Amino acid sequence: MTASVVIVSYRPGEWLAASIRSALVQADQVVVVDNGSEGATASAISRDLGAEVVRSAGNLGFAGGVELGLGRARGEVIGILNDDAEAGEGWLARATAVLADPTVAAVTPKVVLADAFAEVTMPDDEWFAPGDRRPLGRMLRSVTAGGTEMLARLVGAGVHELEWSSAGDDPDDHWRWTAGRRPFYVPLPDDDADAEIRVNGEPVTPDAKCRILNHAGSYLERHGVAGEYGLGAPDDGRFDDAAERFGFSGTAPVFRAETLGRVGAFAVPFFAYDEDTDWCLRARLAGLRILYEPGATVTHRWSATSGGSASARVRFLQQRNSLFCLVRNAPAGLAAGHLWSLARKGSGPGVRRAVAARLPWALATRARLHRTWVTTPADVWDRWAGADRTWDDGPARVEGRGVQAGTVSR
């Protein structure tokens, strides 16, 4: 089958060229959407490398950029590749083989973070904050590698999400809690294995150096938000078995063009974030499956272009779009409950206004999508909500140290 790859680029860095090159060697066509990059930089880089270019005058968001690129894609198989991701050899070929099964809507590859990481375990006893079931250990105000602050980029079972002061007006006023004696992982700048690691200003000795999984597919939370299966665990063989997953992250999924015609592209009003979860829910409701294929591999410079959860804009989009997912695809009672909760207390006036402005669109599209359903939202939630939320998150399996394993609930 012929294959096309669509790459959307808004703030191109040195990573864009690597992404394009990795796609050109395995696709019949590579379409780069210059999503309003300053000075048309993305267009210049792409043309120099031999990719086809379609330029938007402004930033259409990831969902809108993908739709623009799909309009140019001619392949029977279509891969979407983030501009900060690099496809491994065989990404498209392995995915295409899986897509020979017409019940498979999409294939998600094994995505590994591009950095090397140092494994750190803090000798802390677990304790629980009042009213909080998360095990806590030490408050982390700073974690550096080679003098570079990495607090927002830590991954692994041994650390909780970034937190901010209730005022939220100081972007530097944030911290993270360790999760007892579980390991967490610190990115090493320029893969420097000798970079000094400091925690709250004090030097620590890493337990190991390893590569870390970004995701091996996605799982669905009961409240409709998707999470990345395997995030933060070492890539040491424990994710090398193919499996069915709830869905995929938008980093590098592969589809048949026929399926995209049937299910539709990403929902443009999402702009960015959760458009992939919305698509997976639509595919599930249409009776299709999504498979994880570990032989298809991709490396990802995590949030190189968006800033990740440290960005207030990203957090806003995630909160707004998670509600759009529910309204369009979830059991009606669940969606209504979350909307009522938002109306009563919500996530701030900005999110409430944004949801209210687009609620008529979300309700109208739910009615249209209902015609394509071959199963019910309740059936999808019964099968997938809350499933696959644990995995082997034990320390890296390295020479000279026994295999250890554990699980963490997300």
Q: Tens of pLDDT along 79-118?
A: 999 999 999 999 999 999 999 999 999 999 999 999 999 9
Is residue 175 domain-resident?
Answer: yes
- The domain containing residue 179 runs over which residues? 116-211
Q: Where does 122-182 show beta strands of DSSP type E?
A: 127-128, 135-136, 139-140, 143-145, 148-149, 163-164, 174-177
Residue 345's pLDDT is 72
Measuring CA to CA, which residue among 103, 95, 56, 55 is closest to residue 79? Answer: 95
Residue 407 corresponds to which tokens in the numbers above? 């699980």
pLDDT per residue over 35-87, tens digit each?
999 999 999 999 999 999 999 999 999 999 999 999 999 999 999 999 999 99
Q: What is the mean pLDDT of the chain?
A: 91
Contact 124, 112 (CB under 8 A): no
d(CA 304, CA 55): 21
Residue 145 corresponds to which tokens in the numbers above? 């590698």
Q: What is the number of helices (H) and of strands (E) in the chain?
A: 10, 24
Alpha carbon 157 to chain centroid distance? 17
Is residue 191 domain-resident?
Answer: yes
Is residue 196 domain-resident?
Answer: yes
Contact 327, 366 (CB under 8 A): yes
In this predicted structure, the answer to whether residue 34 has a pLDDT above a threshold of 90 is yes
Is residue 237 domain-resident?
Answer: no
Contact 298, 387 (CB under 8 A): no
Q: Looking at 38-42, 124-128, 315-319, which range is the least confident one?
A: 124-128
Is residue 255 domain-resident?
Answer: no
What pTM did the predictor assign? 0.90
Greater confidence (398 vs 86) lies with 86
In this predicted structure, the answer to whether residue 409 has a pLDDT above a threshold of 70 is no
Cα 27-31-37 angle, rounded to 5 deg: 140
Q: Average pLDDT for residues 4-9, to the nearest whole number?
A: 98
- Indicate the pLDDT class of residue 285, thresholds 50, 70 and 90: very high
Is residue 172 domain-resident?
Answer: yes
Is residue 141 domain-resident?
Answer: yes
26: Cβ contacts below 8 Å, ≥ 6 apart: 3, 87, 89, 90, 91, 92, 93
3-9 and 77-80 strand pairing: parallel
Is residue 180 domain-resident?
Answer: yes
Q: How many domains does the chain have?
A: 1
Measuring CA to CA, which residue among 174, 143, 172 is closest to residue 161? Answer: 174
